A and B are shown apart, each in its own frame.
Chain A
C-alpha cells in the first residue's frame, strides 16, 4: 500500500514502485527543507543586501523578493527541482493506480453499497465542470480531480489519495486527515456549546478532511461537495470503508441545490485558493445563504499575505507561479475579513485561528491553543515542515 492509505481502497505497489514512492517523499523533504533553507540563506546573505544597496531599502513585498531572487542559481535549482518533485510524486503512484484501476472501480462500487455506514453519493453525468478545474492540471496532477476514464470511475480519487500520501511526507497525519482532525477538535473545545446538526464540506475532494468532522460530531448529518465526479465517488467509498456516514454530491460550491439556512457548519480546506476571485465571492455568498442563523463558516487555507513578511509571502506565493495554481496569490492577497464582510457577514463575527497540528503536537496542545491565540502567523503556519500549524478563518452568521 502507499504509506498513508490504509483503508479498503488501498493498492499494492510493486517493490520498485514502492521504492520510487519512498524516494519521492525523501526528495520532497530535501527540496522543501534543505533547499528551501538554503534559498533563504542565499536571499538573506546575498540577494537582499544587493537589493538594499541598489534601492536603499528592503524589498517591500513578495513580488519584489521574487523579482530579486529570480536570476539566482539557487532559486532556479530549487524551483526546477520542486516542479520535478511535484510531477514525479504523481508519476510514482500512477502505474500502481493504473494496474489496479478495474479493481478499484469494482471495490468502490461494493463499498458504496455496503451496510458498514449509511453514506451516499450523487453524481451528475450532465454536470458542467468549471473551467478553473476542467482547463488545468491543478498542482501538476495529471488528470486533475475531474477526468473520467469510464462510467462510475474513481481513478482520479485514487491518484489524489495516493499522490498526497507520497506528497505529504507524513505532515497530513497517518490517515491524511490532520487538517480536519486538528480543526474539528479545536472548534469542539473552543465552542463546547456549539453542536452542529448539519455540516457541509465544500470542495471536499476525497473527503479525507470531511470524515474527522463526522467523527468529532457523530450525531451530525454530514454532507460533502466537489465538482470532480471521480473524487466524490472515491470519497464515498473511502468514508464507507472507515464506517463513517457522509453524503457526497457532485456540486459546485458557487451554486448548490441545498435549501436556505440548512447547515450549522460550513467548512472547507485547501479549497479557496483553487477558485478564481469571482468564484470565491459566489462561494461566500452561497455559504451565507446555506447557513442557519448562529451557524459557522470556516475555511482552512494558507495564511494571507498581510500576515507575513516579504520573504514568506514570496515563499508561499511560489505555487501560484509554478505549480499550476494560478488563483493562489490573488486569494492570499485578499483580506479574509473583507471577503467575509463583502458576502454579508458582520465584521464583528469574523474569526481566525492558528491551530497546532494534532498529529505533531498531540491533543493537549490543540486544546491548550484555544486560550493561546495571538492572531499572528509564524514561519510554521502552513509550511510543510516540523511543527506545522494550520490557519483557518471564517465568520458566524
Chain B
C-alpha cells in the first residue's frame, strides 16, 4: 500500500457505508473475514513453497531474482487451481458436512433425548 507520506493520495481499500452482518453473536462476522484472510495468506505460502520446490528440483540452486522471475505455466496454473479447490474444501469442511448431514440415511436412529 502506498503511504500518504510520498505525497500521493492513497487508494481506498475499504468499502464505504454499513457492512452486512449475518450472525447475531458479536464478532462472528469479523471472525469469518479473518479466517478467510488467513486462508488466503496460507495459500500464498503454499504457492510460494511450490515455486521454491519447482526451482529447487530444476536447478538445485537458485537466487531470489530467479525465484521472483519464475513464471507459472498454464498447465501449472490449472494444477494449482484444482489443488486450491481441494484446499478450500478442507478448511471449510464443516459447512459441507452440515449439508451432507441432511442427506444422511433417514433410517438412522435419532440420538437419545437430552435428560
Residue of A nearest to B2 (CB): A98
Interface size bracket, B side = 35 or more
Cβ–Cβ < 8 Å partners of B23 in chain A: 76, 80
Residue of B nearest to A322 (CB): B20
Bound-state CA distance A15–B47 (Å) is: 9
Bound-state CA distance A76–B31 (Å) is: 13
Q: Which of A25-33, A285-293, A306-314, A374-382 contacts B (4 or more CB under 8 A)?
A: A25-33
A16 touching B48 by the CB < 8 A rule?
Answer: yes
Cβ–Cβ < 8 Å partners of A140 in chain B: 15
Cβ–Cβ < 8 Å partners of A19 in chain B: 43-44, 47-48
A26-B84, A34-B89, A74-B95 given; A136·B17 CB < 8 A: yes
Chain B positions 55 through 84: 1 when the CB is less than 8 Å from some CB of chain A, otherwise 0:
000000000000110101000010011001
Cβ–Cβ < 8 Å partners of A24 in chain B: 40
Residue of A nearest to B87 (CB): A26
B29 touching A149 by the CB < 8 A rule?
Answer: no
B99 touching A42 by the CB < 8 A rule?
Answer: yes
Bound-state CA distance A322–B29 (Å) is: 13
Residue of A nearest to B99 (CB): A38
Residue of B nearest to A97 (CB): B11
From residue A138, how far is it (CB to closest CB) to chain B in Å? Answer: 10
Interface of chain B, main secondary structure: helix
Chain B positions 14 through 26: 1 when the CB is less than 8 Å from some CB of chain A, otherwise 0:
1111011011000
Cβ–Cβ < 8 Å partners of B15 in chain A: 87, 137, 140-142, 324
Residue of A nearest to B22 (CB): A76
A84 touching B102 by the CB < 8 A rule?
Answer: no
A30 touching B92 by the CB < 8 A rule?
Answer: yes
Cβ–Cβ < 8 Å partners of B29 in chain A: 80
Check if B12 is an interface residue, CB within 8 A of chain A: yes
From residue A324, how far is it (CB to closest CB) to chain B in Å? Answer: 7
Bound-state CA distance A254–B2 (Å) is: 37
Cβ–Cβ < 8 Å partners of A365 in chain B: none
A22-B80, A98-B1, A98-B10 given; A34·B102 CB < 8 A: no
Check if A35 is an interface residue, CB within 8 A of chain B: yes
Check if A114 is an interface residue, CB within 8 A of chain B: no
Bound-state CA distance A224–B19 (Å) is: 33
Check if B5 is an interface residue, CB within 8 A of chain A: no
Bound-state CA distance A180–B77 (Å) is: 27
A84 touching B48 by the CB < 8 A rule?
Answer: no
Check if B32 is an interface residue, CB within 8 A of chain A: yes
Interface of chain A, main secondary structure: helix
Check if B9 is an interface residue, CB within 8 A of chain A: yes
A95 touching B1 by the CB < 8 A rule?
Answer: yes
Bound-state CA distance A22–B72 (Å) is: 12
Residue of A nearest to B68 (CB): A15
A149 touching B11 by the CB < 8 A rule?
Answer: yes
Check if A79 is an interface residue, CB within 8 A of chain B: yes
A29 touching B17 by the CB < 8 A rule?
Answer: no
Cβ–Cβ < 8 Å partners of B92 in chain A: 30, 35, 77, 81
Cβ–Cβ < 8 Å partners of A79 in chain B: 20, 22
Bound-state CA distance A88–B15 (Å) is: 11
Residue of A nearest to B10 (CB): A98
Cβ–Cβ < 8 Å partners of A29 in chain B: 85
A22 touching B47 by the CB < 8 A rule?
Answer: yes
Check if A257 is an interface residue, CB within 8 A of chain B: no
Cβ–Cβ < 8 Å partners of B99 in chain A: 38, 41-42, 74
Cβ–Cβ < 8 Å partners of A27 in chain B: 36, 39-40, 88
Check if A23 is an interface residue, CB within 8 A of chain B: yes
Residue of A nearest to B29 (CB): A80
Bound-state CA distance A41–B99 (Å) is: 7
B33 touching A77 by the CB < 8 A rule?
Answer: no
A150 touching B9 by the CB < 8 A rule?
Answer: yes
Bound-state CA distance A20–B41 (Å) is: 7
* Chain B residues numbered 75-113 whose CB sits less than 8 Å from any CB in chain A: 77, 80-81, 84-85, 88-89, 92, 95-96, 98-99, 102-103
A-B contact pairs, 17 of them (CB 8 A): A19-B47, A22-B81, A22-B84, A23-B40, A23-B44, A27-B40, A38-B98, A76-B23, A77-B95, A79-B22, A83-B20, A137-B17, A140-B15, A142-B15, A142-B16, A143-B11, A147-B12
Q: Which residues of B contact A (CB under 8 A)?
A: 1-2, 8-17, 19-20, 22-23, 29, 32-33, 36-37, 39-40, 43-44, 47-48, 51, 67-68, 70, 72, 77, 80-81, 84-85, 88-89, 92, 95-96, 98-99, 102-103
